[in-house]
Amino acid sequence: MSGQPRTSKTTIIARILALGASLGTTFFYVLAALGMSAAIGPIWIGAVIGISLFVFVMWAIIRFLGWVMSGDDPSYQQYIAEGGDPYFDGLPPPFNTDSWTQRVGGLSEPDTDFVPPDNWEFQCLKCGARREHQIDICWNCGHGNDVRQCHGCGMLVKEPSFGAFETTGVICPECGTILKS
């Protein structure tokens, strides 16, 4: 689903309710085939309400457990803030038709001529491109490269600690220019 945002939770819930309605209708016709007379309304409503309650309870349990186990984890907080949901992102197709890369990272994959192979499971944290390894230099934006060229003197400066280019910046030892992403 390149270039598109996550599938909305409303769409996923509508697909689940459609499943409940079709199960209720199927049950009604099975009863009719067996020669039993029943009103379709209560069966249909019961199936929809039953599946809705099941989905809500499972969603609440999974969100609560995520909060208990990973509530203070900054990456989990970022995942939730960007619209991620452990329950809805874990649902299989046809309910959630997002790619696994998009479900995990939340970013749609960039539009480019290069198509990464399907077995690349990881996603760049900066641009959303699929990567072969979790710790890897992104082929699309270069994120993960720990060496930058100083725009003042041209010297190649190595990042002294992980994330220094993005957070505090690194001072070029040759000319004193601050390198920051």
Q: Cα(69)–Cα(59) distance, rounded to whole angstroms?
A: 15
Residue 105 has what pLDDT? 64
Q: Cα(22)–Cα(70) distance, rounded to whole angstroms?
A: 37
Distances (CA, A) of 150 to 145, 153, 154: 14, 6, 5
Residue 15 has what pLDDT? 92
Domain definitions of the chain by residue range? 9-108, 146-181
Residue 81 has what pLDDT? 81
Residue 61 has what pLDDT? 95
Q: Cα(68)–Cα(118) distance, rounded to whole angstroms?
A: 33
What is the SS3 assignment for 159? coil
- Kindly give the confidence (pLDDT) of every residue in the chain, 181 residues in length, as a single tens digit, with 9 standing for 90 and above: 344 677 888 999 999 888 888 888 888 888 888 888 777 778 878 888 888 899 999 999 998 998 898 878 888 888 788 778 888 888 888 888 887 767 766 555 556 677 778 888 888 877 788 888 877 778 777 777 677 777 777 777 877 776 777 777 888 888 888 877 6
- Which of these, 108, 102, 97, 99, lies nearest to 12 by C-alpha position? 97
Q: Cα(123)–Cα(120) distance, rounded to whole angstroms?
A: 8
